[in-house]
Amino acid sequence: MLTHEATRETLTTIGITVADLLGSGSESWVYALDDARILRLYNGDVSRSAYVGRLKAFYNALPAFTFVCPVIHETGRVGSVVYAIEQRIPGLAMGVVLPNLPATARTRAFIGYLQALTELRRVTYPTRPYGELLTEHPVQAPTWSAFLEASMTARLEEHRARLDADVQNLDTAIAIAFERVATIPEPPKALVHGDYYPNNVLLGDDLRVSGILDFSAMTVVGDPFMDVAGGLLFLEGSPSYQPTDRELLGGLIRREYGAAVMDRIDTYRLYYSLYFAGAWNDDPNLYRWCVNNLNQAIADQRT
């Protein structure tokens, strides 16, 4: 983790101050360098250098979109702190913009939010296995359902004891999740952002998507509908979320892809509820979301 002392040393070396902070998350802290560049400081230790190198190569290989994805100009270290200097992407985070939008403008923003995913899904990796793209030891599998099962199993091995204490009948919830993911049709091997939600999407003044940020360890080769699901489900944990947003965005999704896609979204709700089981350690709200979903799946099965 980044310490205050290491952060100050790095910022001083590069020539900026904490006043230039733009935002932070579980993976990194972002500072303004100037109008064209940002500085990203990564949580973790020097082992993050290899990850940032993979990320830089990944960004360089992306095609052109109507929006901008990150470009890493330079990487380096100050002591144990790994940093990257990136292109600064114009626009404001959708999570910041949404609370101030009236209904009609909100609808326009969500239409663009979905349209950007139609561009991402055109990036395919036909010769790669399903699974993680950017991790050092990627979880991968020859089929999509096998990857989802392996990913959930890995999280359960780490966090089952905690879930056992909070989920009424964890074995039943696990069985439901595994049964559901086995029903997903084998998808094209498309690019899946994996963490697609309003804070990782930038909007321009015209409410069109101007940039998509923070491809990460969650980025995978797989089912493009995973990002459609995440785009809806992760909104529930956003500070900008309004209860009517689920109805609005869900209606747009059904109009675009058909009503049947909502069953797949419900399946990914269970997948993510196991995937994020470790959130109890640093994000209690996300952990409660996971537990509530798993308990609800058990209740739904009983009715």
Sorting pLDDT into bands at 50, 70 and 90, what band is 55? Answer: very high
> Is the per-residue pLDDT at 241 higher than 80?
no
Region of 194 (left: φ > 0; alpha: ψ -120 to 50; beta: rest) is left
What pLDDT shows up at residue 236? 86
> Is the per-residue pLDDT at 125 higher than 80?
yes
Write down the mean pLDDT value for the chain: 94
Class of the CATH domain delimited by 4-87: alpha beta
Token code pair at residue 210: 């101007």
Tell me the C-alpha distance between 141 and 208, whole Å: 36
What pLDDT shows up at residue 112? 97
Task: Give the mean pLDDT of 17-28.
Answer: 87
What pLDDT shows up at residue 3? 84
> Is the per-residue pLDDT at 46 higher than 90?
no
* pLDDT, tens digit (0-9, with 9 covering 90-100), for 137-174: 999 999 999 999 999 999 999 999 999 999 989 999 99
Provide CATH 3.30.200.20 ranges for the chain.
4-87
Q: Under CATH, what is the fold of the domain 92-302?
A: Aminoglycoside 3'-phosphotransferase; Chain: A, domain 2 (3.90.1200)
Provide CATH 3.90.1200.10 ranges for the chain.
92-302
Tell me the residue type at 98. Answer: L
Please indicate, yes or no, whether the overall pTM of this predicted structure exceeds 0.85: yes
Tell me the C-alpha distance between 12 and 23, whole Å: 18
